[in-house]
């Protein structure tokens, strides 16, 4: 196998959704995944079996033969792990978190960076990594170049951004993905309670997402709130028997109207 | 031209987004659009020119030669118009509104119904009507059959539902479309304020929408709120300087966590 660049052996610390999708993609791109660490044996084994590599559940048994260590664990788990893993100190260490600065690595290793794929990953759902934007950051230009090449083997949308920008990108992603998905969940619950199948909404959900590929979201807005049709909004509030759903309805309707008013002025 | 069924001449009362898309689709399916009414001349003329038909801005000049009258106006505008239009009283009158019962026609005409296309329409954006679910309702079985055939000429997803079900469907659509689009707008604003292009989020938005084609929304949920990662959430709240955006963040995070907890129990 042709070595794509000077990163050859990659070690994954973490075996959750991001680790799984990233490890599978990097393995598919020809990298040698040397080992998977997870404190949960079932997760470590599942990912290691999928790739055909070694695994461990002990931080002190993490191999020191890696060129790149990818820490894909929850934000809270990262700092304590950095002190305990027996990773090679002069290898490149990166995390995959949107909201943690690169500076979490300060004093822990010689070379550090971030490799942040902006996507929502669920374990049993395949994704086409090539279309996923991957944002990188590194402590020096040579390592930024290395990360750019590694990321470029799995995605054709690689960009370098600062820790500061990445924080806001992650926050925006929470609105556009996690919060949006919750609204789908509220809609699904309403339909279920009234004997209507959720898939009725799929063409609407698809078009709502597709519209913002060509229109700014503020220009794509439709519905009773943008017209501030009080009668329709009151009828809708009367239909909702869940106080939290009412509160979401009121707050988002007010905000839609405020955005529309500010756009006009 | 072969007459598709006993509806031949259709009159549109209204020339907004829904009227425009529906009239263009029905015209394309071979129906004779006899006339467009709108109180706004520019709108009436624009749609009439597109189809090549007559228009009027006077309710009392609405032609009485229609077989089907489609009232596609705002909910508030409908009731006053029903008293003033010179439409044929024994033709079939339908509205296109999600949240108005069919009973708004009581005492106004002999035959009534509803033709509700579940989609978000913007004037300058083409939509493929064939994929849009169209929900019909009628005062009797013969008219339901007529409407099913008319709707079936432009969409292959036609279903009959009651006024009661349609109310909830419209409410669910407000969550899944209008409110979702507002979250895209909040995300767009955050990115703009920090020098990041909105199209960075498009693959994420696409995947978030695509996921619920195969997973229930509650099972597709990811992000800090479903894990209830307080540190990440607090950092995000600290980044938001708009109190309304903070309130959306808090409320939706609480609700994501509540849904996740209820799912487990």
Q: Under an 8 A CB cutoff, do A208 and B209 touch?
A: yes
Q: What is the mean pLDDT of chain B?
A: 94
Mean of pLDDT values over A80-107: 95
Give the Cα separation of A184 and A196 in Å (integer). 14
Mean of pLDDT values over B229-249: 95
Of A197, A241, A235, A12, which Cα lies nearest the Cα of A253?
Answer: A235
Asked whether the beta carbons of A16 and A40 are under 8 A apart, the reply is: no
Mean of pLDDT values over A231-246: 95
- Put simply, whether B186 touches A (Cβ < 8 Å) is yes
ipTM over 0.85: yes
User: At a CB cut-off of 8 Å and minimum separation 6, what does A177 contact?
Assistant: A120, B204, B205, B207, B208, B222, B223
Give the Cα separation of B112 and B95 in Å (integer). 9
Residue A108 has pLDDT above 50, yes or no: yes
From the list B170, B186, B259, which residue is nearest A175 (CB)? Answer: B186
pLDDT confidence band for A24 (50 / 70 / 90): very high
pLDDT confidence band for A5 (50 / 70 / 90): low
Percent of chain B residues topping a pLDDT of 90 = 90
User: At a CB cut-off of 8 Å and minimum separation 6, what does A13 contact?
Assistant: A37, A62, A69, A70, A71, A72, A73, A81, A85, A87
Q: Under an 8 A CB cutoff, do A221 and B178 touch?
A: yes
pLDDT confidence band for A4 (50 / 70 / 90): very low
Matching fold, domains B9-161 and B167-264: no
The two three-digit tokens of residue B208, written as one number: 């978030």
What pLDDT does B35 receive?
Answer: 98
- Interface contacts (A, B; CB < 8 Å): 328
Residue A225 has pLDDT above 90, yes or no: yes
The two three-digit tokens of residue A84, written as one number: 């305990």
What pLDDT does B264 receive?
Answer: 80
B248/chain A closest Cα distance in angstroms: 7
Residue B91 has pLDDT above 90, yes or no: yes
What pLDDT does B5 receive?
Answer: 59
**Segment among A218-227, B39-48, B118-127 with least mean pLDDT:** B118-127
Percent of chain B residues topping a pLDDT of 70 = 98
Q: Residue B136, by phi and psi: left (phi above 0), alpha (psi -120 to 50) or beta?
A: beta
What pLDDT does B3 receive?
Answer: 41
Q: pLDDT tens for residues B137-190?
A: 999 999 999 999 999 999 999 999 999 999 999 999 999 999 999 999 999 999
From the list B133, B182, B208, which residue is nearest A120 (CB)? Answer: B208
A141/chain B closest Cα distance in angstroms: 21
From the list A196, A208, A219, which residue is nearest B180 (CB)? Answer: A208
The residue of chain B with its CA nearest to that of A184 is B176
What pLDDT does A206 receive?
Answer: 96
Mean of pLDDT values over A213-232: 92
Asked whether the beta carbons of B130 and B107 are under 8 A apart, the reply is: no
User: At a CB cut-off of 8 Å and minimum separation 6, what does A105 contact?
Assistant: A82, A93, A95, A112, A139
- Put simply, whether B130 touches A (Cβ < 8 Å) is no
Of A230, B73, A242, which Cα lies nearest the Cα of A253?
Answer: A230
Residue B4 has pLDDT above 60, yes or no: no
Q: How far is CA A149 from CA A31, A98, A201, in A?
A: 12, 20, 41
Residue A2 has pLDDT above 50, yes or no: no
CATH 3.40.50.970 fits A9-161, yes or no: no
What pLDDT does B1 receive?
Answer: 40
Residue A3 has pLDDT above 60, yes or no: no
Q: pLDDT tens for residues A160-206?
A: 999 999 999 999 999 999 999 999 999 999 999 999 999 999 999 99
B36/chain A closest Cα distance in angstroms: 22
A residues 33..62 contacting B (CB < 8 A) = none
Q: pLDDT tens for residues A109-156?
A: 999 999 999 999 887 788 889 999 999 999 999 999 999 999 999 999
Tell me which residue has tokens 């609480």. B254
Q: What is the mean pLDDT of chain A?
A: 94
Strand B111-117 vs strand B134-138: parallel, antiparallel, or unpaired? antiparallel
Q: What is the DSSP string of A210-242?
A: HHTTTS-HHHH--SHHHHT-HHHHHHHHHH---
> The whole model's pTM is what?
0.91
Tell me which residue has tokens 């509030």. A237
Would you kindly state where each structural domain of chain A is located, as residue ranges? 9-161, 167-264
Asked whether the beta carbons of B189 and A199 are under 8 A apart, the reply is: no
- Put simply, whether B237 touches A (Cβ < 8 Å) is no
Residue A240's φ and ψ, nearest 5 degrees, are: -85, 120
A207/chain B closest Cα distance in angstroms: 7
Fold for the domain defined by B167-264: 1.10.1040
Asked whether the beta carbons of B15 and B38 are under 8 A apart, the reply is: yes
Write out chain A residues lying below 8 Å of B125, CB-based.
Answer: 211, 214-215
Q: Under an 8 A CB cutoff, do B182 and A255 touch?
A: yes
């Amino acid at each position: 196998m042709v070595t794509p660049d000077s990163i050859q052996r990659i070690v994954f610390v973490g075996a959750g959704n991001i680790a799984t999708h990233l490890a599978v993609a990097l393995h598919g791109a020809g990298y040698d995944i040397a080992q998977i660490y997870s404190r949960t044996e079932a997760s470590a084994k599942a990912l290691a079996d999928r790739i055909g590599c070694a695994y461990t559940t002990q931080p002190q048994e993490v191999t020191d033969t890696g060129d790149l260590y990818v820490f894909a664990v929850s934000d809270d788990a990262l700092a304590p792990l950095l002190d305990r893993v027996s990773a090679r100190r002069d290898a490149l260490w990166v995390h995959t978190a949107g909201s943690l600065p690169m500076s979490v690595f300060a004093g822990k290793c010689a070379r550090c960076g971030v490799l942040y794929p902006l996507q929502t990953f669920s374990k049993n759902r395949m994704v086409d990594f090539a279309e996923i934007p991957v944002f990188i950051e590194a402590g020096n230009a040579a390592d930024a170049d290395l990360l750019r090449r590694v990321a470029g083997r799995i995605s054709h949308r690689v960009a370098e951004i600062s820790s500061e920008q990445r924080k806001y990108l992650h926050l925006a992603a929470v609105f556009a993905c996690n919060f949006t998905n919750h609204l789908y969940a509220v809609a699904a619950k309403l339909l279920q309670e009234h004997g209507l199948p959720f898939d009725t909404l799929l063409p609407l959900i698809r078009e709502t997402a597709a519209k913002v590929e060509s229109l700014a979201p503020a220009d794509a807005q439709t519905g009773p709130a943008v017209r501030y049709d009080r009668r329709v909004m009151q009828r809708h509030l009367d239909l909702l028997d869940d106080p939290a759903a009412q509160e979401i309805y009121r707050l988002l309707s007010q905000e839609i109207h405020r955005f529309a008013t500010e756009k006009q002025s």
